[in-house]
């Protein structure tokens, strides 16, 4: 395990900052004076990449890369460019940099910046690859923790809706939709009454695969540019009524929040961790040579409207997944589905084995049957209007941590319908 | 019902051409001399829209619209621009046009042109909205034609994969994937052995809806720019093993073919037809004021490799759907899912009540149990390598028809894997 890499930006040298020189995550920001543009977080500052490129401090590729407010163009350049940029940022921002005088004026305080979507989402896929979550959902919904017959063989996934993916901080309206009570004869229409989160990691595809051509797990691993925290907001009642036989649709399409900073696979490299021992041997196409998970500590926090006390309601770790993002991506392309730069893969809900380690309110409240208590003394089963839900994550090194920035969303009341 | 509108392009005045002046469908073409560009089919010719715009014959909006090889930019301009362009094309190409001398040099023979994807697919959603198909699939897969409990209330859909959508003529590799025989203990990996088509219509969204904001059926109807034929290639064995509990994934991701010409909603307007009588009353949010289907006759044709005899294996009509594209689009957005220009909605498989009217081989061969015979005397259950499948469709007027161009795909052998 490496140690803290020192920067001349003082705030980046704290054991508490999520953004030391070891991290260098990629986001998009604006200020009162500037339109949205690419930036790199360092301590409590952001390096303005557009300005750095214009000043000749960053030269990646033949054309400007940072004249657009998203990171897809860097991804398009391929992994040599990814490595070159990371090395160059280390030079510019590292302790003893000879270019500090040129770089320092290009730093913007995070406190003065608004963050925006860091990349254009091409397509969004959500998986169901947490063993404990799948067992819990089976126990809750079907009365048995037995896994679906295919679960130990396939990283089960479904296509989600890219247009629903929003940056942390975007308020989410409680969705309207169809739901049917078990004892009702007919469905009814109205606001979801079982609104939930799902704590996930999101993997961002940075290299494409060709239509009609499968890929290996190792190739898939190389295609992943970086990771974000991902909250797959879920309307359990809408989902429960709609999902047979073709899977989740409107119960998952009203919002998917991601954290503001893309943490690169390179920054996470030293935190690689193995997938758990296989209960059944996987088919050989799902074999890879690398540890595919990462040791990232994760939290779910909840705060009622108007309160000032935020309660940690769940704590788990990305290593709780059964399938890695590389395995998921390999499976995604194995029939010839073309994968594109900007594709986003949700890991599936990450739950540990005990009740304090669950990644959804469905599990925490056991489908609403067992309310849980916040630090304020209030209880919850599902989300109430005005509640703010936050995901937080960090890989912890020796005297430093690699964070993502909080993934935050407040639930607003449903829009009235019909208008 | 209107009659044939005459054009000075002679080939457009035949009762047999799919592209009379009444149609004016939008595609993208290239020739030996030109890169891909937008074009409008008229008889056996194509009007080069880039050249027409450069020549000042077409002026839509303040900026050039046809300097890019896709129709999304026209869609972005909104329905006044859609109407204005259609009216202008009628002027330019109609009998007695005073501008014939300027337009005629801009016509390209379809025989000399290669066709390309007519629009950028933003996201792709596939529905399951044909009553007969749903009953057939229930009978085949679950032993009962009873519909899922939600089917008569919800236009059931799932998100598909936009990166799999290809233009007619693109060969499709038989996909590899996981499948498990009912009596096998473990799944195996290899080429799909139950490769199928689904005969569908595709509706193209031309106007966006806002994140968090539902739409009505009438608003949805106004958002639809046009239609294509759509073949939702399906690997039944892969789908059957993967689809519980989250729906189809790799069984549907190896290719979705569309016909080359977008037939506008305006061209189809006079062929509107009602959805069937409701077996259960729909929730009010699914009410609309217009007939949402169109009277479009549809065929499935099959030709073994190397043969010269094409057999019609299925004939049906778009009016066989239970839900309209506008109802599907309304439902898609009802929870606040943002819909974007270029979104593509597959209708679901269109099957009529008798065996000659089915829209998939799964139904024609009753899951492989009842082989059907081609005109050559050969039999088929599912698709064999080298087979070419074609979808054809036309709305039939008084002495004219509105066609889409064939939607063709040949199945190539699976790629060998591992490499």
Average pLDDT score over residue span B180-191: 95
**Looking at the structure, do residues B290 and B240 belong to the same domain, yes or no?**
yes
Q: Where are the alpha helices (DSSP H) in A258-350?
A: 265-268, 325-333
pLDDT band at B156, cuts 50/70/90? very high
Question: Per residue in A316-357, pLDDT tens?
Answer: 999 999 999 999 999 999 999 999 999 999 999 999 999 999
A146 and A87 in a single domain? The answer is no
Mean pLDDT of B366-390: 97
Interface of A with B in 132-191 (CB under 8 A): 148-150, 153-154, 156-164, 166, 172-173, 175-178, 180, 186-189
Residue A89 lies inside a defined structural domain of this protein:
yes
Is A94 found in the same domain as A147?
no
Average pLDDT estimate for A250-268: 98
What whole-number percentage of chain B has pLDDT above 90?
97
Q: Compare all CA atoms of chain A with the CA of B190 and give the residue at the minimum distance.
A: A335
CB within 8 Å of A54: residues ≥ 6 apart = none
> Residue B161: which region, alpha, beta or left (left: phi > 0; alpha: psi -120 to 50)?
beta
pLDDT for residue B3? 95
Give the span between the Cα atoms of B263 and B296, in whole angstroms: 12
- Structural domain includes residue B67: yes
DSSP 8-state assignment for residue A123? -
Examine the fold and report which residue of B79, B99, B116 is the final residue of a domain before the chain moves on: B116
Residues B281 and B334 in one domain: yes
Q: Is the pLDDT of residue A305 over 90?
A: yes
Residues A290 and A266 in one domain: yes
Q: A112 with A205, same domain? A: no
Catalytic one of B116, B133, B331, B332: B133
Q: Give mean pLDDT, residues A190-216.
A: 98
Task: Look at residue B408 in the predicted model and tell me its pLDDT.
Answer: 98
Rounded Cα distance between A124 and A164, Å, is 9
Q: What is the pLDDT of residues B270-313, one digit of tens each?
A: 999 999 999 999 999 999 999 999 999 999 999 999 989 999 99
Condensed to tens digits (0 to 9), the pLDDT of residues B206-253 reads 999 999 999 999 999 999 999 999 999 999 999 999 999 999 999 999
Looking at every residue in chain A, the average pLDDT score rounds to 97
Tell me: do A110 and A130 sit in the same domain. Answer: no
For A266-287, give one letter per residue: b (16+ CB within 10 A) or e.
bbbeebbbebeeeeeebbebbe
Q: Give yes or no: residues A262 and A282 share one domain.
A: yes
* pLDDT given at position B141: 85
Domain range holding B343? Answer: 124-412
| Within-domain flag for A33 | yes
Tell me if A5 is assigned to some domain. Answer: no
The predicted pLDDT at position B86 comes to: 98
pLDDT at A1 over 80: no
What's the pLDDT score for residue A61?
84
Task: Give the helix/strand (H/E) hosting A373.
Answer: strand A372-373
Q: Please report whether residue A419 resides in a domain.
A: no
Domain containing B17 — which CATH number? 2.30.30.230
Residue B1 banded pLDDT, cuts 50, 70, 90: confident
Residues 44-63 of B with CB under 8 A from A: none
User: B46 and B169 in one domain?
Assistant: no
Question: What's the pLDDT tens digit per position in B35-53?
Answer: 999 999 999 999 999 999 9
Q: What pLDDT does A372 receive?
A: 97
Whether B336 and B381 share a structural domain? yes
Query: Per-residue pLDDT averaged across B83-104, rounded?
Result: 98
The answer to whether residue B1 sits within a structural domain is no
What span, in angstroms and rounded, lies between the C-alpha atoms of A191 and A57? 52
Give chain B's count of helices (H) and strands (E): 10, 27
Is residue B4 a part of any domain in this protein?
Answer: no
pLDDT at A175: 98
Residue A339, domain member (yes or no):
yes
B20 pLDDT higher than 90: yes
Band (B401; pLDDT cuts 50, 70, 90) = very high
Q: How many whole angstroms separate alpha carbon B301 and alpha carbon B295?
A: 20
Of B116, B143, B158, the last residue of a domain is: B116
**How distant is the Cα of B265 from the closest Cα of chain A, in angstroms?**
24
Is residue B204 pLDDT above 90, yes or no? yes
Q: How many CB atoms lie within 10 A of CB A237?
A: 22
Q: How far apart are CA A356 and CA A312, in angstroms?
A: 9
Mean pLDDT of B351-360: 97
Question: So what's the pLDDT on residue A154?
Answer: 97
Whole-number pLDDT of residue A2: 87
Which DSSP symbol is given to B7? Answer: B
Of A177, A212, A244, the CB nearest to B148: A244
CATH number at B217 reads 3.90.850.10
Split at pLDDT 50, 70, 90, the class of B419 is confident
* Cβ contact A189–B285 (<8 Å): yes
Do B101 and B148 belong together in one domain?
A: no
A294 and A330 in one domain?
A: yes
Predicted local confidence at residue A388, as pLDDT: 98
Start-to-end Cα distance in chain A: 57
Residue B255 structure tokens: 């290719």
Closest partner residue to B415 (CB to CB) among A213, A247, A332 is A213
Q: Which residues, 6 or more positions from B199, have their beta carbon under 8 angstroms from its beta carbon?
A: B231, B298, B300, B314, B316, B349, B350, B351, B359, B360, B391
Q: What pLDDT does residue A182 have?
A: 87
- Is the pLDDT at B320 greater than 80? The verdict is yes
Smallest CA–CA distance from A235 into chain B, residue = B335
Reported as a pLDDT band with limits 50, 70 and 90, residue A169 is very high
Region A90-117: mean pLDDT is 98
């Amino acid at each position: 395990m490496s140690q803290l890499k020192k920067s001349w930006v003082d705030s980046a040298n704290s054991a508490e900052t999520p953004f030391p020189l070891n991290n260098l995550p990629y986001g998009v920001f604006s200020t009162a004076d500037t339109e949205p543009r690419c930036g790199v977080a360092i301590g409590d500052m952001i390096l303005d990449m557009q300005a750095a490129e214009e000043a000749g401090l960053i030269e990646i590729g033949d054309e400007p890369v940072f004249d657009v407010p998203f990171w897809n163009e860097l991804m398009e350049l391929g992994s040599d460019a990814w490595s070159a940029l990371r090395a160059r940022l280390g030079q510019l921002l590292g302790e003893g940099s000879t270019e500090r005088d040129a770089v320092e004026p290009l730093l913007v305080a995070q406190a003065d910046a608004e963050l925006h979507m860091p990349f254009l989402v091409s397509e969004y896929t959500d998986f169901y690859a947490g063993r404990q979550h799948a067992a819990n959902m089976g126990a809750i919904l079907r009365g048995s923790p037995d896994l679906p017959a295919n679960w130990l063989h396939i990283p089960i996934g479904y296509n989600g809706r890219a247009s629903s993916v929003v940056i942390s901080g975007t308020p989410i309206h409680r969705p309207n939709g169809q739901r049917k009570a078990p004892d009702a004869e007919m469905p009814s229409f109205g606001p979801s009454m079982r609104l939930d989160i799902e704590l996930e990691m999101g993997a961002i595809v940075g290299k494409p695969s060709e239509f009609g051509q499968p890929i290996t797990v190792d190739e898939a691993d190389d295609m992943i540019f970086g990771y974000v925290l991902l909250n797959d907001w879920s309307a359990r009642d809408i989902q429960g009524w709609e999902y047979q036989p073709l899977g989740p649709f409107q119960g998952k399409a009203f919002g998917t929040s991601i954290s503001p900073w893309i943490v690169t696979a390179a920054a996470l490299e030293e935190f690689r961790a193995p997938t758990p021992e296989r209960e059944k041997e996987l088919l050989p196409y799902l074999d890879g040579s690398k540890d595919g998970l990462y040791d990232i500590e994760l939290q779910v926090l909840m705060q009622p409207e108007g309160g000032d006390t935020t309660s940690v309601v769940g704590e788990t770790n990305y290593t709780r997944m059964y399938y890695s993002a590389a395995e998921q991506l390999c499976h995604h392309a194995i029939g010839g589905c073309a994968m594109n730069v900007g594709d986003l893969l949700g890991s599936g809900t990450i739950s540990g084995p005990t009740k304090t380690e669950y990644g959804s309110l469905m599990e925490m409240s056991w489908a609403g049957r067992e309310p849980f208590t916040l630090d304020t003394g209030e209880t919850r089963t599902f989300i109430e209007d005005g509640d703010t839900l936050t995901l937080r994550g960090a890989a912890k090194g020796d005297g430093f941590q690699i964070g993502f920035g909080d993934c935050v969303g407040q639930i607003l009341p449903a829009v009235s319908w019909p208008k």
